[in-house]
């Protein structure tokens, strides 16, 4: 398992997807009513995740501004400006790992590492030290890669936002294993954990939706930290 730092990319024009289309555009071929309905439902989930990611980013920015008295009149103002610039860069890194919006996607392992590192940096408090480790074994089928990445985004975000809330240090492990019959994504943290049934906010609702697309399942346990396991059959 490797632990990685996040680099902030310079913005570039957004490329089309691997099939020549923009990531949110449907196929150019004419579809029948059933295909259009399925395509419309999937696009709505796509847009919901984009809105959710944007909302989380803006919440962090607003929180930083609200905690800075006399923002324009103190040296802290410059620090906040630098922090805002850094978080905007992290947002671009996350978007690239998920959708390739400003940079062409790399290998699956590289995308997961960049995604996990950037999400942790984006969501953590400024005084928190949270390390994210990523391990990948086997070859994830091409048709499942977007689902794995987007589920990882929501599960790592939840681990930082809820599992690590109020903790100064923590560790998150992201493990992806693909064998002949199944691809399994596991996200573990050593945070607070939970009792009973976890509250299903927008992030977990999205992750369950991603699993359902492929006839998969998402299970979450909170006895000792939190363990979220996404299983996608081949």
Give the CATH number of the domain where residue 123 resides: 3.30.565.10
- Is residue 199 within 8 Å of 193, Cβ to Cβ? no
- Is residue 4 within 8 Å of 134, Cβ to Cβ? yes
What pLDDT is stored for residue 100 in this prediction?
74
What pLDDT is stored for residue 28 in this prediction?
43
Q: Residue 166 has what DSSP assignment? A: T
d(CA 150, CA 47): 12
SS3 127: coil
Q: Express the helix, strand and coil content of the chain in percent, nearest 5 each.
A: 45, 20, 35
Q: Which of 160, 149, 230 is nearest to 189 (CA)?
A: 160
What pLDDT is stored for residue 152 in this prediction?
97
**CA distances in angstroms from 200 to 55, 78, 86, 223, listed in the order given:** 17, 38, 30, 17
What pLDDT is stored for residue 40 in this prediction?
67
Q: Residue 21 has what DSSP assignment? A: S
* Mean pLDDT (10-residue bins), the chain, 234 residues: 42 40 42 61 75 75 72 75 82 84 80 96 92 97 95 96 93 97 97 83 92 95 93 97
What pLDDT is stored for residue 31 in this prediction?
52
d(CA 64, CA 180): 46
What is the number of domains present in the chain? 1
Residue 154, C-beta contacts closer than 8 angstroms, at least 6 positions apart: 49, 52, 203, 204, 206, 207
Host domain of residue 226 = 2-233
Q: Which of 191, 199, 200 is nearest to 223 (CA)?
A: 191
What pLDDT is stored for residue 76 in this prediction?
76
What pLDDT is stored for residue 101 in this prediction?
67
SS3 170: strand
Residue 127, C-beta contacts closer than 8 angstroms, at least 6 positions apart: 168
Q: What is the dihedral of CA 134, 114, 215, 231, to 10 degrees?
A: 10
What pLDDT is stored for residue 9 in this prediction?
39
């Amino acid at each position: 398992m490797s632990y990685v730092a996040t680099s902030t990319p310079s913005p570039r024009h957004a490329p089309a997807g691997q099939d020549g289309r923009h990531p949110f555009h449907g196929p150019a071929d004419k579809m029948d009513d059933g295909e259009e309905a399925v395509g419309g439902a999937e696009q709505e989930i796509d847009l919901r995740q984009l809105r959710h990611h944007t909302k989380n980013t803006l919440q962090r920015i607003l929180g930083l501004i609200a905690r800075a008295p006399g923002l324009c009149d103190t040296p802290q103002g410059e620090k906040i400006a630098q922090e805002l610039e850094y978080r905007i860069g992290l947002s671009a890194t996350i978007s690239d790992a998920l959708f390739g919006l400003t940079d062409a996607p790399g290998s699956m392992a590289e995308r997961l590492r960049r995604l996990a590192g950037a999400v942790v940096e984006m969501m953590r408090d400024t005084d928190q030290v949270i390390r994210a480790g990523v391990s990948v074994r086997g070859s994830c089928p091409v048709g499942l890669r977007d689902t794995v990445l987007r589920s990882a985004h929501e599960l790592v975000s939840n681990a930082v936002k809820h599992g690590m809330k109020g903790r100064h240090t923590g560790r998150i492990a992201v493990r992806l294993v693909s064998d002949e019959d199944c691809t399994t994504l596991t996200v573990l943290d050593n945070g607070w954990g939970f009792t009973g049934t976890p509250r299903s906010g927008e992030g977990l609702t999205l992750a369950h939706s991603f699993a359902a697309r492929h006839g998969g399942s998402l299970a979450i346990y909170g006895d000792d930290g939190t363990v979220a396991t996404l299983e996608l059959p081949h």
